[in-house]
Amino acid sequence: PAMNVQAVAVWGKIAPSHSITAIMITDDQQTIVTGSQEGQICLWDLSSELKISSKEILFGHTASVTCLAKARE
């Protein structure tokens, strides 16, 4: 059975800034992907009621993320 795990980000009193420079939505229209000037990629859940909630934040890029593309099979 699949396990549902809630993503948790831990930082101080102020969350890291995420100035969006790129955005993409998946083909199933359930996930929004954003890239930021600060070099992060964030995944967001999009509900059928169009409510957006954070899912994951990925760190590691040393430069701005200015383009997003889906991988081919």
Of the two residues 2 and 56, the one the predictor is more confident about is 56
**pLDDT (average), residues 38-64:** 88
Strand pairing category for 20-25 and 52-58 = unpaired
**pLDDT score for 24:** 95
pLDDT value of position 6: 58
Q: In what order do the strands lie in the sheet with 31-36?
A: 20-25, 31-36, 41-46, 52-58
DSSP 8-state secondary structure symbol assigned to residue 2: -
CB 38 within 8 A of CB 59: no
Higher pLDDT, 24 or 4: 24
Q: Which contiguous run of DSSP H or E holds residue 23?
A: strand 20-25
The domain segmentation of the chain, as residue ranges, is 20-59
* CA–CA distance, 34 with 57 (Å, rounded to integer): 9
